[in-house]
Amino acid sequence: MTLQEYDYVRERPSKLAASCLLLALTMKNVGGWTPTLEHYSGYRSQDLHPLVKRLNFLLTYQPRDKLKAVRTKYSHRVFFEVAKMTPMDMMKLEETLKS
């Protein structure tokens, strides 16, 4: 989805990928940012928090009537229907990132 948004062009692809991973881990409640992830990505969890919040905001307030191809593609079970997942509540995300 970020490929369709000009606001994310200025972000490093590696930081964007790391932030997406952290958001996914948080949404699925399968763990946090480990020392191994920090070592191999080069990013500390705290460095990713602002971008993670922006990504969650994008998921929460995305226009549903435009650019449906990505949403349709990732709504298929081949892709585990990830487009159908509900975004995290912003307050809950903030709490989870702080802990």
Is pLDDT of 63 > 70? Answer: no
Instruction: Domain count for the chain, please give it.
Output: 1
The CATH number of residue 12's host domain is 1.10.472.10
Q: What is the pLDDT of residue 80?
A: 84
Percent of the chain with pLDDT over 70: 95
What is the mean predicted confidence (pLDDT) over 77-85? 87
Nearest to 96, CA basis, from 44, 31, 51: 31
CA distance 20 to 54: 10
Range of the domain at 48: 2-98
Residue 47 CB-density burial (10 A; 0-12 exposed, 13-18 middle, 19+ buried): middle
Q: Are 41 and 18 in contact (CB under 8 A)?
A: yes
- Per-residue pLDDT at 55 exceeds 90: yes
- pLDDT in the model for residue 61: 84
pLDDT (tens digit per residue) in 13-49: 999 999 999 999 999 989 889 999 999 999 999 999 9
Q: Are 59 and 1 in contact (CB under 8 A)?
A: yes
**DSSP assignment, residue 2?**
G
